[in-house]
Structure 1
Amino acid sequence: MTTEQEWTEDRDLFVAAGGADTGPLADEFVRLGESLSRVSTVSEVLHQVVHAARAVVPGADLVSVTLRDSADLFRTPVETDALATRLDELQYRFDEGPCVAATRKGGLGVVHEPALADALQFPRWAPAALELGVGGVLAVGLFPQGETPRMGALNLYSLTPGALDAKDRDLTLVLAAYASTALAATRSCEAAELEAAQLREALRSRDVIGQAKGILMERRGITAQEAFDILRRTSQDLNVKLAQVAETLAARRGEL
């Protein structure tokens, strides 16, 4: 996994060159793309992205990712500093702030407040963030150009007012696009793996239920439907899953 120090070293080369040569910065995103192609879980994707953002975006002191679930509840699964999580959680509590707004905003889904002292759209959250020492914030929805509400947001905080500028905004948009694509692909893989596991479990349950039905049919001289009804009623009476009843019967058939 690429470390934040490695991201920072390449970023510094770009800054030292005055930004004229985009080679090192392009290499950053090539490296990020290669890193994301090797990860297999949502957690790994998010860790790669937050550390890349912290190193690549010059004005970012703290980075976090907000994820929104189907019930419109928010959480912060990864961050570079505990203060970032604190700032996110205040937004979730107030239902107000850049990361919450970025998941609901149309267009590119960008919320950029370079100087929080002037952020009138967040009357409760902005003063609380200022008290915690934050000067500016930039949040981009995931996906940047997807439908709203989005799956979450990539959040960058600066301790210095005005440090997050237009270039940082553009870099963050690209990072958010990388993160969104990798998240979508990873979630698809996880969903496919879950579906396969559920199918395997369903097949195993079907087999053990069939085995239990066969035992009852043989021992009691009843039909397949009658055997199934016995299993079903026992499951309901004992408040135990039908497959578990069938498995117990099959495993202890010698005691019947």
Structure 2
Amino acid sequence: MSAVPRDVLVAQAVFDLAARPDGFDVLELMHDLTTHTVRLVGVRSAGVTILDHDGRVDYLTASDEDCRRLEEDQVELDEGPCVDSTRNGSLLSPVNLHRAGLGSQRWPRFTPRALAAGYSSVASVPLRVSESAVGAVNLLHAGPRRLTGVDLQLVQVLADTAGTRLHQRRTLIARNDVIAQLETALSSRIVIEQAKGILASRLGTDVQDAFVRLRAHARSRQQNLTDLARMVVRGQIPADLDRTH
């Protein structure tokens, strides 16, 4: 049986998530997970939320700024599909936010914000490490096509691949150690967001484009993304990232 192009893309995505060198950037792994999810499943946005040692939900990364804002809203409101899925550690089947007010009944404050941002349905799969859920991969969909069970199975495979790589980082580690790594990645997220803002202001572009430039620069030089972001925040912007030079 010959492989079809999508099969090849799926295989490439799984390999990309699994084949990380020791010392890889956890936040970059999670962002790549959202990027592959959007490309392969056809959702508009994807994000990752985690549960810290104190049982609090926080967002870790998002595929785009609209998704990031909605994840922040849910954390602030303590309401929404990302919050529910992260706490429950279980699959959230697609919920149509328009249908008979279902979304409004479950998430009365989140749903109007999601609809205003152009999203029509939501779903989540657990982010698992050694069979234990440590967070959730959240799907925000727009458009007429419905998310299917096969779509969710594919996202679960991607999430499990990333979770396995976290578990195997350098050596097999305990679940609490993985959560500690993810909490460290939260600090990296803050630095990267600061760097995105600085670059966007300096280059006269939006923050999404600034992030694309930042990440491309890091990858082309095999540099840790968080380390590059710290340089930018300190004002040490590489010349080829800075149009003013």
**TM-score, normalised relative to structure 2:** 0.59
Correspondent of 1:142 among 127, 147, 164: 127
Deviation at 1:153, TM superposition (A): 1.0
**Counterpart code for 2:20:** R
Answer whether contact 1:114 1:164 (CA < 8 A) is retained: no
Greater relative contact order: 1 or 2 (C-alpha under 8 angstroms, separation 6 or more)?
2
| Structure-2 separation of matches of 1:137 and 1:145 | 26
Answer whether contact 1:114 1:163 (CA < 8 A) is retained: no
1:159 and 2:142 aligned:
yes
**Counterpart code for 1:38:** R
SS of corresponding position for 1:71: coil
The equivalent of 1:38 in structure 2 is 20
Deviations 1:99-122 (A, max 9, x none): 11112225xx11133411232322
Deviation at 1:67, TM superposition (A): 2.2
Deviation at 1:49, TM superposition (A): 0.9
Distance 1:53 1:105, change over 3 A: same
| Structure-2 separation of matches of 1:174 and 1:189 | 20
Deviation at 1:145, TM superposition (A): 8.5
Instruction: Write the mapping of 1:136-215 to structure 2, written as runs, cut at 5 A.
Output: 136-143=121-128, 146-147=131-132, 150-160=133-143, 162-186=145-169
| CA RMSD, 1 decimal | 3.0
The equivalent of 1:133 in structure 2 is 118
Correspondent of 1:94 among 61, 73, 77: 77
| Structure-1 separation of matches of 2:109 and 2:75 | 12
Instruction: Write the mapping of 1:2-151 to structure 2, written as runs, cut at 5 A.
Output: 23-36=4-17, 37-39=19-21, 40-58=24-42, 60-105=43-88, 109-117=90-98, 118-119=102-103, 120-143=105-128, 146-147=131-132, 150-151=133-134
Distance 1:29 1:146, change over 3 A: same
Deviation at 1:171, TM superposition (A): 1.5
Answer whether contact 2:129 2:164 (CA < 8 A) is retained: no
| Structure-2 separation of matches of 1:74 and 1:103 | 7
| Structure-2 separation of matches of 1:75 and 1:187 | 26
| Structure-1 separation of matches of 2:73 and 2:127 | 20
SS of corresponding position for 1:167: helix
**TM-score, normalised relative to structure 1:** 0.57
Q: Which runs of structure 1 show a deviation greater than 4 angstroms over 4 or more consecutive aligned residues?
A: 20-23, 187-192
Deviation at 1:86, TM superposition (A): 1.0
Distance 1:30 1:116, change over 3 A: same
Instruction: Write the mapping of 1:209-248 to structure 2, written as runs, cut at 5 A.
Output: none
| Structure-2 separation of matches of 1:82 and 1:56 | 19
Answer whether contact 1:136 1:157 (CA < 8 A) is retained: yes
Percent sequence identity is: 29
Answer whether contact 2:59 2:75 (CA < 8 A) is retained: no
Greater Rg over alpha carbons, structure: 1
Answer whether contact 1:99 1:140 (CA < 8 A) is retained: no
| Unpaired runs of at least 5, structure 1 | 1-19, 195-256
| Unpaired runs of at least 5, structure 2 | 181-245
Deviation at 1:98, TM superposition (A): 1.3
Deviation at 1:152, TM superposition (A): 1.3
